[in-house]
Structure 1
Amino acid sequence: MTTFQRWWRRDVMGTVDQAAVIEKRRAECVLSARYLLMVCMSAGIAVLGLLQGSAAVVIGAMLLSPLMDPIMGVGFALAVGDFRWLRQAGKSLAIGVLMAILFTALVVFFSPLQTITSEIAARTRPTLFDLAVAFFSSVAGAYAMIRGREGTIVGVAIATALMPPLAVVGFGLATLNGTVFWGSLFLFITNLTAIALTATGMARLYGFSTSLSEKQTQVQVGLIFFAFVILAVPLFLSLRQIVFESQATRQASSIVVEVFGGRATVSQLEPNFDTDPMEVTATVLTPQIIGDAENRAAERMTSALGRPVDVSLTQLRVGTSAQAQEEAQLAHARQQEAEARAQAQDIAERLALLAGVPTDSVTVDRERRRALVTARPLDGATLYAYAELERRIDATEPEWDIRLTPPLLALPVVTFEAGPEGEDGEPADPLFLPDAQGRRAISLVAWAQARTGVPVRVTGPEEAIAAVRTALSTHDIAVQEEWTGTGYGPVSARWATGE
C-alpha cells in the first residue's frame, strides 16, 4: 500500500461517518406529501418563468426543486448495493418526474402564452458542455453530502437545473411539439444519469461499504463508463452541429457583404439548416441594387460551407454605405421608440386598472419615465392598500417613477412603546418611541401627504406629537398640531382640509 493510499484511507475515508450519511440520504428519498407538493410548486414556478422568459423566476424553481435528493439516493444505493433503497429512490424519482411533466403540461395547456421563448429554446439542444456541467456539479454535490457541507447543494441545484428541462418537456407535451419534447427530455436524462452515476463513483471513492462482490464492482464500473460514453456521443454531435451553425451564420453574413463590394449592411440574416438545400434569407441595405446577387452569394456559400445553399435577398436601396449605416441606426432608433411607447401604454393601462379610472386619466412622461394617476375610492380599500398597489407596480418598472395619488381616506393612529434602557439601567430619553405599528403609520402618513399635498393635523399628548413631528420631518413634511395634554399616548392624524 502506497503512502497516498494510507493517507486516503486514514485521513479521508476514515473521517466519514458512513452510517449517518446513508441514513440521511435514505430519509431524503422517502415519497411524502411534502415532496410531491414541492415538486408541483417548483414545476409551476419553472414553467411560468419559462413562458415569461424570466431567468430569475427559473432560478427560483431550481432552488425549490427536491429532485436532487432521490437522484443522489439512486447513486448512493447503487454504490452500496442496497436494492431496496434503490427501488425506493427510483419510485420517488419516477413519480416526481411524471408529476412535474403532467403538472407543467396542464399549466401550459390552459395558459394564453404558448410561445417558445429563449429560455425554452435554450433547453432543447443539450451538448457535451451540459454533460460536463452535470458531472462537475454532481462531484461537488456528492462531496458536500458526504462531508456534511449541505450549503453547497444550492449552487449544485442551480448548475444542474433539473426542474426547468422537465417543465420544457411538459411544454412540448402540451403544445405537441416533438422537437421541444425530445430535446428537453434528453437534457434531463443527461443531467439525471450524470448526477446519479457520478454520485455512485464518489461514494465508492470514499469507501462506502458495499454488498457487491469484486466482480460485480468491476461490472458496475464498466457500466458507468459505458453510460457516459453513450451519452457523450450524441451530445458531442449536437455540440459540433451548434458550432457549425454559428460559424456558418457568420460566414454567410460576410459573403453577402462581399457580394455587394463591402458597401452594404446586412440588417437581418436568417439561415435554415434543416432544409436541403440549406436556405439563407437576408435583408440588405445597399447603395446599388445588384441583379445576380443571390446567385453569386449562393455559389460562394456553397463553396465555403460544403453543402448546397439557396439564398434569398431583399435589397433596400438607401444610398451610400455610410447612408446605409445611418438608415440602419434610424431604423433601430424607431424600433426603440416604438418599444418605449408600448411600454408606456402598458404602464398606463395597468395603473388605470389599479386606480379604477380610464386609461386617459393616467399622466405618462416618457422622457422623465414618470407615470402619475389619481385613484378613485374603491370599496373596502384603505390607504395601506393604495400604498401597496403603488409599491407593486413600481417594483415591476424599476426605471420608472410610479406615483399613485390616493383618495383622502382615514389616516392611521401612531402608537408608542417604552424606549430602550440606558447604560445605567435607567430609562433612556425619550421614554417612549413609536412601536412597529406606529412607525408603519408614520411612513403611511408621510407617503399619503406627499402624494396628495393636503396638510395633516395630528392630535395627542405634547411629547408624543413631538416624536411624530421629528419622524415626519425626515420626510420634509410639516404637520399642524393639536395637544390634548402632556406625556405619551396614541397620536391620531386627519386631513386638515378647509383649515
Structure 2
Amino acid sequence: MRYKDRGLPVEEIHLASQEPVERNDLAFARAVFGFRQWWRESVIGSVDQQAVIDKRRVEGEMSARYLFMTAMSGGIAILGLLLSSPAVVIGAMLLSPLMDPIMGLGFALAIGDYQWLRKSARSLAWGTLMAVGLCATVVFLSPLQELTSEIASRTRPNLFDLLVALFSALAGAYAMIRGREGTIVGVAIATALMPPLAVVGYGLATWNWTVFSGALLLYITNLMTIALTAALMARLYGFRTALSDRQTQLQNIVIVVVFVALAVPLAYSLRQIAWEANAARQVRGELLDQFGDRSRLSDVQINWDADPITIDATVMTPALQPDAEADGARALARQLRRPVNLVITQYQVGTSSSAAEQAQLSAARVQAEAAAAERADDLAKRLALVAGVSMEDVIVDRQRRRALVKSTELEGATLSAYAELERRISATEPEWKVELVPPTRALPSVSFEEGEPTEAGLAALELIAWASQRVGAPINLSGSPENAERARQLLVELGAKNIEVDSSDSANGGVTARWGRIG
C-alpha cells in the first residue's frame, strides 16, 4: 500500500526491491575477481614452475645414496623405538630422504605426468622395502623385542597423526614451491613416516599382526595425505595439468578408490578412539560416584582390547569400601554395554578431603620432579646427538632451564645448518633456553640494494648475529663505507657485539663478514 500511495508502477516496485541485492552481488563478484587477479599476478606469477618441477624430478630419482640413507634412517629409528628414546628417533628423522619421492608423487599428480608418478612410486616402494627389511632384521636379531610405549603409540592412526601429516605436507609443499626447502622440512615429513615404517618392520619380525597392520595403515594414510596435500598446494599455485594420450579415466578412478579405501578404516579407527575417550570419562565419573567427593582418583589404567575390559584404579579415600569393585563393575557394564573386570586399590589417607588432597599433591610433586629430571636428561641426549659429543659435554642448568653445548665440526654442515638444529630443539622445549655453539665456519656475505639489505641480506645478518652471540668472537665487516656501517647498525640491533668495520670500495655493493681475532 505504501508504494501505491506514491504512484509507483508494479515493475518499478519490483526493481526497487531487487536493487540492493544486485548491488551486493556485484560488489562480491568484483571482490572475488580482484582477489583471483591478484593471486594470479602476485603469487602464481612469482613462482618459477619449470624450475620447481625440474628440481623435484632430479631429487626424487632413485639412487644408491637414497636407498642407503633410507635404510640407515630406518635402522636408527627402530633402535630408538626399542630403547624408547625420542632423541634417537629424532636422529633417524634427520637422515631420512623420504620427502623427495613423496613430494614427487604429489607434483606428478598435480601436472598429470604419470610417467613421473610411476618413477616416484618406484623410488618410494624400494626405499620402503629397504627400510622395513632392515628394521625387521634388527628386531629379529635383537635381544630386546619388548613392545615399548613408543612403538604402541604408532599402531593406531588417529586424528592427531593425520593432522601431523597434513601440516607437514603443507609446510613442505610451500617451502619447495617458494624455494625455501631445507633440513627442517625434511624432518617434518620424516616425523609422519619414518617411525611408523620402522614399527612395520617390528611387527613383521615379531609376527604381531596388530602392530604390523596398525603401523602399516598409519604409514600409508600419512603417505597419501602428504602426497595429495602436495598435489593440492601445487594446483593452488598454478601448476597446470597436462593430459597425455596415455592418461585414462581408469587411472583417475584408481586414485580416488585408493584414497577412499584408506579413509574408511581411518574413520572407523577415529570412531573407536572417540568411543574410548568418552568411555574413559564414564569410568572416572562412576568411580568418583562410588567413593564420593571426599575421595580422589590417583591412577586409572584401562585395557580396551581385553575381554572383558580390564580396569585398574587407585583411590585415596577416608573410608574403605569392600563392595566397591563388585558395585562398580556392574554399573560400568551397564553403561559401556560390555563386560568389565574392575580392580580397585584403596588407600585410607584420613578423615577429610584435605588429607586426600595433600597426599595426592605430594605424589604429584614427586612425579613432577621425576618427569623434570627425565626431560632434562632427554634434552641433554638430543643435544649431544646433534652436536656429535658425549652427554658429559652438555651443560644443563635445571634451575634456570638453560642448556649449552659446543658442537664438533659435522661433515657437510653449514653455519645455517647449526642454527636450524638449535631452532629445531628449542621448538620442542619452549621453556628452556637452548644454545648450540657452532664451530667458526665461514660467515655469509650480505647483499645490498639501494643502500638497504635485500631479503637474502637480512637473513644473512640474522645468521651472523646468531653466530656472534654463540661463538663470542669479533666480526669484521668490509665493503663500501655506507653499506658496511648500515650492516654494523643492524647487527647491533640484532644483539651482536664486537663488530669492526673495514670500509673499502666494493664492486658489487655487498658486505663481506669474517671472524676477527679473539684477544
Give the alignment's TM-score, normalised by structure 1: 0.61
Partner of 1:21: 52
Displacement of 1:158 in angstroms is 5.2
In the alignment, does 2:326 pair up with 1:295? yes
Instruction: Write the distance in 2 (CA, Å) between the matches of 1:303 and 1:51.
Output: 39
The residue correspondences of 1:58-457 to structure 2 (distance < 5 A) are: 58-151=89-182, 154=185, 157=188, 160-212=191-243, 227-317=258-348, 320=351, 392-393=391-392, 395=394
Residues 164-206 of structure 1, C-alpha deviation per residue, up to 9 Å, x if partnerless?
A: 1111111222222222111111111011111112222333333
Alignment-mate amino acid for residue 226 of structure 2: I
Q: Secondary structure at the match of 1:126?
A: coil
Q: TM-score, normalised by structure 2?
A: 0.58
Describe the shift of the 1:210–1:263 C-alpha distance in structure 2 as closer, same or farther (beyond 3 A). closer
Query: CA separation of 1:7/1:156 partners in 2, compared to 1, >3 Å: closer, same or farther?
Result: farther
> Residues 97 and 186 of structure 2 are in contact (CA less than 8 Å); yes or no, is this contact kept in structure 1?
no
* 8 Å Cα contact 1:128-1:232 kept in structure 2: no
- Summarize the Cα distance change of 1:23–1:166 in structure 2 as closer, same or farther, 3 Å threshold: same
Q: 3-state DSSP class of the match of 1:290?
A: coil
Q: CA deviation at 1:273?
A: 1.7
- Counterpart contact for 1:62–1:162, Cα < 8 Å: no
1:405-449 deviation digits (Å, cap 9, x = unpaired)? xxxxxxxxxxxxxxxxxxxxxxxxxxxxxxxxxxxxxxxxxxxxx
Query: Does structure 1 conserve the Cα–Cα contact (< 8 Å) formed by 2:96 and 2:187?
Result: no
Amino acid at match of 1:144: A
CA contact (8 A) 1:257 1:266 kept: yes
User: For the Cα contact (< 8 Å) 2:162–2:225, is it kept in 1?
Assistant: yes
The one of 76, 81, 97 aligned to 1:45: 76
1:12 equivalenced with 2:43 (yes/no): yes
Alpha-carbon deviation of 1:95? Answer: 0.8
Change in Cα spacing, 1:208 to 1:314, as seen in structure 2 (3 Å) is: closer
Q: CA deviation at 1:228?
A: 4.5
Distance in 2 (CA, whole Å) between partners of 1:273 and 1:107 is 30
Q: Contact 1:172/1:178 (CA < 8 Å) preserved in 2?
A: yes
CA contact (8 A) 1:283 1:315 kept: yes
> Compared with structure 1, are the counterparts of its residues 87 and 396 closer, same or farther at alpha carbon in structure 2 (3 Å cutoff)?
farther
CA contact (8 A) 1:257 1:263 kept: no
Alpha-carbon distance between aligned partners in 1 of 2:183 and 2:265, rounded to the nearest angstrom: 30
Contact 1:197 1:224 in 2 (8 A): no
- Kept after mapping to 2: 8 A contact 1:75/1:200: yes
Distance 1:333 1:315 in 2: 21
Distance 1:56 1:275 in 2: 32
- Superimposed CA distance per residue, residues 125-181 of structure 1 (whole angstroms, 9 cap, x where no aligned partner): 111332233233223322222221213852762575211111111122222222211
Q: CA RMSD in A?
A: 3.8
Hey, what's the Cα distance between the residues in 1 that align with 2:148 and 2:396? 21
In structure 2, the gaps of 5 or more residues are 1-31, 375-387, 400-519
Structure 1 175/325 Cα, relative in aligned 2: closer, same or farther at 3 Å? Answer: farther
Identity percentage of aligned residues: 59
1:367 paired residue number: none
Q: Compute the displacement of 1:397 (Å).
A: 8.7
**SS state at 1:279 partner:** strand
Q: 1: distance between equivalents of 2:34 and 2:246?
A: 26
Look up the SS of the partner of 2:311 in the other structure. Answer: strand
Distance 1:333 1:78, change over 3 A: closer
Alignment deviations for residues 455-487 of structure 1 (CA, whole Å, 9 cap, x no partner): xxxxxxxxxxxxxxxxxxxxxxxxxxxxxxxxx
Q: 1:307 to 1:143 in 2, by over 3 A?
A: same
The answer as to whether partners of 2:98 and 2:190 remain within 8 angstroms in 1 is: no
2:64 to 33, 37, 45: 33
CA shift for structure 1 position 230: 3.9
Q: Which amino acid aligns with 1:84?
A: Q
CA contact (8 A) 2:136 2:205 kept: yes
Give 1:207 deviation, angstroms: 3.4
Judged with a 3 Å threshold, the aligned counterparts in structure 2 of structure 1 residues 213 and 99 are, in CA distance, closer, same or farther, namely: closer
* CA radius of gyration, larger in: 1
**How many residues are treated as equivalent by the alignment?**
354
Counterparts in 2 of 1:64 and 1:18: CA distance versus 1, 3 Å: same
Aligned counterparts of 1:321 and 1:226: Cα–Cα separation in 2: 61
- Is the contact between residue 46 and residue 58 of structure 1 (CA under 8 Å) also seen in structure 2? yes
Structure 2 counterpart of 1:27, one-letter code: V
Contact 1:141 1:156 in 2 (8 A): no
Say if 1:39 and 1:99, in contact at 8 Å, map to a contact too: yes
Distance in 1, Cα, partners of 2:305 & 2:253? 37
What is the distance in 2 between the residues matched to 1:295 and 1:266? Answer: 18
**Runs of at least 5 residues in structure 1 that lack an aligned partner in the other structure:** 344-387, 401-499
Change (3 A) 1:131 1:203: same
